[in-house]
Structure 1
Amino acid sequence: MDGKHMQIGEVATRTELSLRTIRHYEETGLVIPSARSQGGFRLYTENDVQRLMVIRRMKPLGFTLDQMRDLLRATDRLDAHDALGADEREALLERVRTYEQAAAEQVEKLRVQLARAEEFATTLRTRLRQSARAAARRD
């Protein structure tokens, strides 16, 4: 990481999140800007952007803000450079595994939903083609 700081507008563009959403995540303590400019503007680092991307990916899968906070705490602890005991490290990894399994289950549910939506769209397309052919024969 080069230590570059970004203002909230650039972060919004990079993450495709609204300014309001980014501010909400700050208010709830999920992603606190790493710094403030002399003019008081929020300044974000690449790490802050990565945290926002984690949240952006978790939200559509139905994870709560508390779950997002819990996962970020676990990954922060694993990424921290201070030594972790073997037990603590394993407990943190187990917590991350739980989220990975929950995400995999959601992905499977979404695959099923997508397949049903595609079947439905195909059924409607077929019906429209049949109706168009029937109308053409009547003319």
Structure 2
Amino acid sequence: MACTAEHTMHIGELADRTGLSLRTIRHYGEIGLLPASTRTEGGFRVYSESDCTKVLGIKCLKFLGFDLETIAEMLDVTQNPDAARLPRIQTLVAEARISLNTLEQQLAEAHSFIAALERKSASNE
């Protein structure tokens, strides 16, 4: 489910909405990648819609093959851009494009394989 309605949520809802485990979200918090927006009086983590969007971005970057250290850097440069960091931002964009191109090639190969299976299946009927 996408992060859309403006409200806060506990870790369980964030996990449900992003498809990540509670353990993963807690780990992201422990390493400083996703600190809770706030905590309740009882000490429960509370997350915002912005946090939900951030988690979905982290998930996407993980899918592209980036490690958590690089993801942390990417989030930092996008949240705190300045002219001095422009070369690093450009490098990160280039790396993301390479990863995306690789995934697109793998997807095209998967489509071709499935099409070949379907042709075999149709010719055997």
Give unmatched runs, 5+ long, in structure 2.
Answer: 1-5
> In the alignment, is residue 76 of structure 1 matched against residue 79 of structure 2?
yes
- Sequence identity of aligned pairs in percent? 40
The structure number with the bigger radius of gyration is 1
Counterpart position of 2:94: 101
Deviations 1:5-60 (A, max 9, x none): 32112212332222121111112221110211001100112222222122111001
The one-letter amino acid paired with 1:57 is C
Q: Label 1:16 to 1:26 Cα distance change in 2 as closer, same or farther (>3 A).
A: same
Q: Which moved more, 1:94-103 or 1:115-124?
A: 94-103
Partner residue of 1:118? 111
Q: Which runs of 5+ in 1 are unaligned?
A: 79-88, 133-139
Cα RMSD (Å) of the superposition?
A: 1.8
**Corresponding residue number in structure 2 for 1:84:** none
Secondary structure, counterpart of 2:46 in structure 1: strand
CA distance in 2, matches of 1:5, 1:122: 45
**Which structure shows the bigger proportion of residues in helix conformation?**
1
Aligned to 1:83: none
Q: 1:129 maps to which residue?
A: 122
Question: Following superposition of structure 1 onto structure 2, how do residues 19-30 of structure 1 map, counting pairs within 5 Å?
Answer: 19-30=22-33
Q: Measure, in 2, the Cα distance between the counterparts of 1:25 and 1:58.
A: 14
1:4 deviates by 4.4
Question: What is the one-letter code of the residue matched to 1:115?
Answer: A
Q: Does 1:16 align with 2:9?
A: no
- Following the alignment from structure 2 to structure 1, what is the Cα–Cα distance between the partners of residues 53 and 120? 46
Count of residues in Structure 1 that have an aligned counterpart in Structure 2: 120
Which of 25, 36, 44 is equivalent to 2:47?
Answer: 44
